[in-house]
Structure 1
Amino acid sequence: MREIPQAGASDAPVDVRRAAGDLLVRARNGDGEAFRGLVEPYRRELRVHCYRILGSVQDAEDLSQETLLAAWRGIGGYEERASVRTWLYRIATNRCLNALRAGARRPPEYASYRPEVPLPEPSHRRAEPSWLEPYPDVLLDGIADHVPGPEARYEVKESVSLAFLAALQQLPPRQRAVLVLRDVLGFRAAEVADILDTTENAVTSALKRARGALAQELPGPDRESAPLPDSPQERRIVDEFTRAFEAGDVDAIVAVLTDDASLTMPPLPLEYQGPDAVRNFLATVALRHGRRHVLIPTRANGQPAFGCYQRDPRTPILHAHGVLVLTLTGSRISALTRFLDNSLLTVFGLPRSLRT
Structure 2
Amino acid sequence: METSDLIARASAGDHHAFRELVEVHSHELQVHCYRILGSLQDAEDALQEALVSAWRNLGTFGQRSSLRTWLYQIATNRCLSMLRADRRRPRSATPLPDLTLPEPTGVSDAPPWLDPYPDVLLDHLVDQAPGPETRYETTEAISLAFVTALQLLPPRQRAVLVLRDVLGYRAGEVAAMLDATRESVHSALKRARATIDSHLADSGSERPVRRPDTTAERHLVSQLTDALERADLPALVGLLSEDVRLSMPPAMLEYRGIDAAQQFFAAVTLRPGRSYRVVPTRANGHPALATYVADPHTGAFRAYGLLVVTVADDRIASVTGFGASVLPRFGLPRTLPGAD
Alignment TM class, shorter chain as reference = over 0.9
The number of equivalent residue pairs is 335
Q: How far 1:111 sits from its partner (Å)?
A: 8.4
Distance 1:297 1:133, change over 3 A: same
Distance 1:112 1:98, change over 3 A: same
Report the counterpart of residue 324 of structure 1 in structure 2. 307
Q: How far 1:160 sits from its partner (Å)?
A: 0.4
TM-score by length of 1: 0.89
Tell me which of 258, 265, 270 is aligned to 1:282. 265
Report the counterpart of residue 249 of structure 2 in structure 1. 266
- Aligned to 1:164, what secondary structure does the other structure show? helix
Report the counterpart of residue 42 of structure 1 in structure 2. 25
Report the counterpart of residue 167 of structure 2 in structure 1. 185
1:227 alignment partner AA: P
Tell me which of 279, 293, 298 is aligned to 1:296. 279
Report the counterpart of residue 208 of structure 1 in structure 2. 190
Q: Which moved more, 1:298-307 or 1:18-27?
A: 18-27
Distance 1:224 1:259, change over 3 A: farther
Deviations along 1:113-141, one digit per CA (max 9) or x if unpaired, are: 54322212211114884321100111111
Q: How far 1:70 sits from its partner (Å)?
A: 0.9
Q: How far 1:289 sits from its partner (Å)?
A: 1.4
The correspondence of residues 63-142 of structure 1 with structure 2, limited to 5 A, is 63-106=46-89, 114-126=96-108, 129-142=111-124
**Distance of 1:41 and 1:124 partners within structure 2:** 43
Q: Do the aligned residues in 2 keep the contact of 1:130 with 1:266 (CA within 8 Å)?
A: yes
Q: How far 1:353 sits from its partner (Å)?
A: 2.3
- Aligned to 2:98, what secondary structure does the other structure show? coil
Q: Do the aligned residues in 2 keep the contact of 1:262 with 1:272 (CA within 8 Å)?
A: yes
- Aligned to 1:269, what secondary structure does the other structure show? strand
1:135 alignment partner AA: Y
Distance 1:147 1:51, change over 3 A: farther
1:166 and 2:148 matched: yes
**Distance of 2:234 and 2:60 partners within structure 1:** 63
Report the counterpart of residue 326 of structure 2 in structure 1. 344
Q: How far 1:142 sits from its partner (Å)?
A: 4.0
TM-score by length of 2: 0.93
Report the counterpart of residue 154 of structure 1 in structure 2. 136
Can you give the 5+ residue segments of structure 1 that lack an aligned partner in the other structure? 1-17
**Distance of 1:147 and 1:125 partners within structure 2:** 39
Q: Do the aligned residues in 2 keep the contact of 1:305 with 1:324 (CA within 8 Å)?
A: yes
Distance 1:213 1:36, change over 3 A: same
Q: Do the aligned residues in 2 keep the contact of 1:181 with 1:187 (CA within 8 Å)?
A: yes
Report the counterpart of residue 199 of structure 2 in structure 1. 217
**Distance of 1:232 and 1:93 partners within structure 2:** 38
Q: Do the aligned residues in 1 keep the contact of 2:111 with 2:151 (CA within 8 Å)?
A: no
Aligned-pair RMSD on alpha carbons? 2.1
**Distance of 2:241 and 2:2 partners within structure 1:** 53
**Distance of 1:210 and 1:310 partners within structure 2:** 41
